[in-house]
Structure 1
Amino acid sequence: MLKQLIKYFVYKTKGHITKTQLINFLYLADLYTVKWTGKPLTQLNWCYYHRSPWHEDIDTALRQMDGKEITLNAEGHTLLIRLGREADITNDITLPLGLQLMLDNIRREWAGAAKLEQLLEYVNNTAPILEVREIHKPEAKVKLNLNAEREKLVNELGL
C-alpha cells in the first residue's frame, strides 16, 4: 500500500512534490483513516523524529522506486520527487474511489510550496505529535500513537 500511496501523490501532483510534503501527506492519510475507521492504511509505525512524522520504510520505498516510477532530485536542501520514466499515471494506481477522494482532499488542501509552512503547522498540532513533542528531544525516534486523534474525536463528539 505504501508504494501505491507514494505513486498516487506523486502522480496527482504531476511530480511537483517535495519529500517533506510527501511524508506529511502519507502521515495524514494514515491519521485520517485511523481517526475515522480505527485502522491505518499502511503498516508504518510512525515516529516523531526531527520535529516531524517519519518512518524509515518511506526512504526505502523511495530508493526502490527511484529511476522507475519516480525520480529523486536534490535542489539545495530540498528533495523533489518527480515522475519517473516508467510512470503510468492511468494504470499504475489501484485504490478504491472513496480512498482516492480522501487522498485528493489532502493533496488539494496542502499541495504547493506556498502551503508548506501551513502543512507543517497543521501536522505538528495533531494529537499524536502533541503527545510527544514537548517531552522528547527532536533527535529521538518516538513512536506516535495515531489512535490519539481518534480518541480526541470521540471525546469531542461525547461518545
Structure 2
Amino acid sequence: MLEKLILYFVYQTKGHITRTQLVKFLYLADLYSVKWTDKQLTDLDWYYYNHGPWHEDIDAALVRLSGQVVQVREGQATLIQMGVEPLDISTLEISQGLHFMLDNIRREWVGGSPEAQGKVDKLLEYVYSTAPMLAVKDKYERSEKVRLNLALERELLLEELGV
C-alpha cells in the first residue's frame, strides 16, 4: 500500500510535491485511517525523528519506484516527480472512499502557486499539532527516534464524540 500511496500523491499532484510534503501526506493518510477506521493503511511504524513523522521505508519505496517516480533536487527541496514510465492512476485499485480521503489531503496541502511555501508551513504546523506528535515532540531530542502512537488521534475523536 505504501507504494500505491506514493504513486497516488505524486501523480495526482502532477509531480509538484516535495519529499517533505509527501512524507507528511503519507503520515496524514495513515493518521486519518486510524482515526476513522482504527486501521492503518500502511505497515509503517511511524517515528518522530528530526522534527517530524518519519520512517526509513519511505526512502526504500522511492528507490523501488524509480522509473515511475524520480527525485529532483531543486534548491533546498527535493521534488518527487513522475518518471518516464507512464501510470494510469486507475490501476492502483484505490477504493472510492480512500480516493476521497487522499484527495482531500492533496487539495488541502499542495499548491503550485506563490503561496505554496505558505501551504507547506501550514502543513508542517498542522502535522506537528496532531495528537501523536504533541505526545512526543517536546519530550525528546530531534535526533532521537521515538515511535508515534497514531491511536491517540482516534482516542481524541472518541472522547469528542462521547463514546
TM-score by length of 2: 0.94
Counterpart for residue 73 of structure 1: 72
Structure 1 stretches of 4+ moved >2 Å: 89-92
SS of 1:133's partner is: coil
SS of 1:132's partner is: coil
* 1:120-150 residue CA offsets vs partner (Å, 9 max, x unmatched): 0000000000000110000101000000000
What does 1:68-147 correspond to in 2, within 5 Å?
68-112=67-111, 113-114=116-117, 115-147=119-151
Greater Cα offset, 109-118 or 142-151: 109-118
What is the CA distance between 1:91 and its match in structure 2?
4.5
Is the Cα contact below 8 Å between 2:8 and 2:89 reproduced in 1?
no
* 1:65-117 residue CA offsets vs partner (Å, 9 max, x unmatched): 12x11011011221101100113134442111110010000000001223100
For 1:73, the aligned partner's letter is: V
For 1:44, the aligned partner's letter is: L
- CA distance in 1: counterparts of 2:85 and 2:58, whole angstroms: 19
- CA distance in 2: counterparts of 1:102 and 1:29, whole angstroms: 8
RMSD of equivalent CA atoms: 1.0
* 1:41-80 residue CA offsets vs partner (Å, 9 max, x unmatched): 00000000011100000000111212x1101101122110
Aligned residues: 158
- Percent identical pairs in the alignment equals 55
For 1:119, the aligned partner's letter is: L
Is the Cα contact below 8 Å between 2:11 and 2:89 reproduced in 1?
no
Counterpart for residue 23 of structure 1: 23
C-alpha spacing 1:91/1:151, structure 2 compared with 1 (3 Å): closer
For 1:105, the aligned partner's letter is: N
Extract unaligned runs of 5+ from structure 1. Answer: none
Is the Cα contact below 8 Å between 1:11 and 1:89 reproduced in 2?
no
Extract unaligned runs of 5+ from structure 2. Answer: none
